């Protein structure tokens, strides 16, 4: 329980820090006074400037982290997260595609379509009849699909005029600068619905973790559960990507980080902790991106990339020593 309290405390502190600091720092009591009023610097910061941004970071980080924890548990491999598996690249490509051809599609819908499509392609290629697909095959195939999507996105970038290319580049690297309360509402609404659905699957997930034969013996229809859980994970990731852009590695880091911080042993606990860790990572990454260089806003994705890449390498080392990769 204490560790959960610490996890919640870290999240609350991160949110407070993210609201307090930026191009101008605002003392917490000013923020507090701004709560519930309509004028003054506090309410301006909370209501228009940093409030929506932090809310989207929190919600987006949560769904990405939850999605990562879901896939890592499902495939019993800490490297199997939606960014490594190519789903986020697919979602990102779809949004860039919609932007460059001026399609009148909401980015959320484009992202979901792209994410689902990428997931289906990965599944179709990695699927082998009669064998439980090894996580390694999925990871390699996912990386390949990710490369392909990135290649196409780069191509679209070269065709766009410079102004929209800059916008696209910013979006592709994962930025929260355009966040509105509408975005925040969307991610929180859809996100909590999907999160509840994911948590409802945690019992099936726990049984699946015991291995396919065991799960079948316990009376679970394994194929159906796998598809439902994967589908939920893809949707979660796509909702996150549509609002934050394909921020690299949040989903990858969140699961293990949450598990370490919370010490959770149950599947539901790990999923929840993964989501919270994702929220913490994204809120802090966005904060650092805003204050790292004065008068310049970097995309949060720059920092999740800088943290995530060494993390991936470290995990790789650990997995190697355990002889699992």
Partner 1 sequence: MAALCLIALALISLFIGPRDIAFDSFAAALQAYDQYDAEHVTLMQIRLPRLWAALIAGGALGVAAMVMQVVTRNPFADPGVLGINAGAAFFLIVGTTLLGRADEAFVAVFAFPGAALMALIVFALGGGFLRDINPIRLVLAGVAVNALLASLLTALVLLRQDSLDVMRFWVAGSLSQATTRPLFEMSLIALAGASLAMALATRFEAFALGGDMSQGLGVRPGRVLAGALIVVTLCAGAAVSVAGPIAFLGLIVPPIVRVLSPGDLRLGLLMSAVIGALILLFADVLGRVILSPLEVRAGIMTALLGTPLFLWVARRMSPGQVS
Residues that bind partner 1 (CB under 8 A): 79, 84, 125-126, 128, 131, 133-134, 136-137, 139-141, 143-145, 147-148, 150-152, 154-155, 157-159, 162, 165-166, 169-170, 173, 248-249, 293, 296-299, 301-306, 308-310, 312-313, 316, 320, 325
In three-state secondary structure terms, 130 is coil
CA distance linking residue 175 with residue 164, whole number of Å: 15
Q: Smaller CB distance to partner 1: residue 134 or 217?
A: 134
Q: Nearest CA to 81 among 128, 131, 142, 141?
A: 142
The dihedral of CA 128, 134, 139, 140: what is its sign? negative
| Both tokens assigned to 86 | 């190519």
CB 173 within 8 A of CB 299: yes
Cβ atoms of 240 and 64 closer than 8 Å: yes
Closer of 7 and 285 to partner 1 (Cβ)? 285
Residue 87 CB, shortest distance to partner 1, in Å, is: 15
Residue 170: which of 183, 157, 182, 152 has the closest Cα? 157
Q: At its nearest, how many Å lie between partner 1 and the CB of residue 19?
A: 23
Nearest to 115 by CA among 16, 234, 35: 234
- Closest separation in Å from C-beta 257 to partner 1: 17
Rank residues 20 and 170 by Cβ distance to partner 1 and give the closer one.
170
For the CB of residue 281, give the shortest distance to partner 1 in the complex, in Å: 14
Secondary structure element (H or E) that encloses residue 75, with its range: none
Nearest to 178 by CA among 292, 297, 67, 282: 297
Least distance in angstroms from the C-beta of 248 to partner 1: 5
- C-beta closer to partner 1: residue 44 or 157: 157
| Smallest separation (angstroms) from partner 1 to the CB of 97 | 14
CB-CB neighbours of 166 under 10 Å: 12
Which residue lies nearer to partner 1 by CB, 42 or 246?
246
């Amino acid at each position: 329980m204490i560790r959960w309290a610490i996890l919640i405390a870290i999240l609350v502190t991160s949110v407070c820090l993210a609201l307090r600091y930026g191009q101008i720092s605002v003392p917490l009591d000013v923020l507090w006074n701004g709560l519930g009023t309509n004028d003054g610097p506090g309410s301006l910061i909370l209501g228009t400037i940093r409030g929506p941004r932090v809310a989207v970071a929190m919600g987006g980080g949560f769904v990405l982290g939850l999605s990562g924890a879901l896939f890592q548990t499902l495939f019993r491999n800490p490297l199997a997260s939606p960014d490594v598996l190519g789903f986020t690249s697919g979602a990102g490509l779809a949004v860039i595609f919609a932007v460059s051809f001026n399609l009148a599609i909401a980015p959320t819908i484009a992202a979901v379509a792209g994410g689902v499509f990428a997931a289906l392609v990965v599944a179709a290629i990695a699927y082998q009849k009669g064998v439980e697909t090894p996580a390694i095959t999925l990871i390699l195939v996912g990386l390949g699909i990710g490369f392909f999507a990135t290649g196409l996105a780069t191509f679209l970038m070269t065709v766009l005029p410079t102004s929209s290319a800059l916008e696209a580049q910013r979006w592709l690297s994962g930025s929260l600068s355009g966040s509105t309360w509408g975005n925040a509402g969307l991610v929180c609404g859809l996100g909590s619905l999907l999160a509840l659905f994911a948590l409802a699957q945690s019992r099936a997930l726990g049984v699946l973790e015991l291995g396919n034969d065991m799960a079948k013996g316990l009376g679970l229809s394994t194929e159906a559960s796998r598809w439902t859980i994967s589908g939920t994970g893809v949707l979660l990731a796509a909702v996150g990507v549509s609002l934050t852009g394909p921020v690299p590695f949040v989903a990858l880091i969140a699961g293990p980080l949450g598990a370490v911080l919370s010490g959770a042993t149950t599947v539901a606990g790990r999923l929840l902790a993964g989501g919270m860790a994702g929220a913490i990572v994204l809120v802090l990454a966005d904060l650092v991106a805003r204050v790292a260089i004065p008068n310049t806003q970097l995309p949060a994705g720059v920092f999740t990339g800088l943290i995530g890449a060494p993390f991936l390498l470290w995990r790789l080392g650990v997995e190697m020593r355990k002889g699992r990769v």
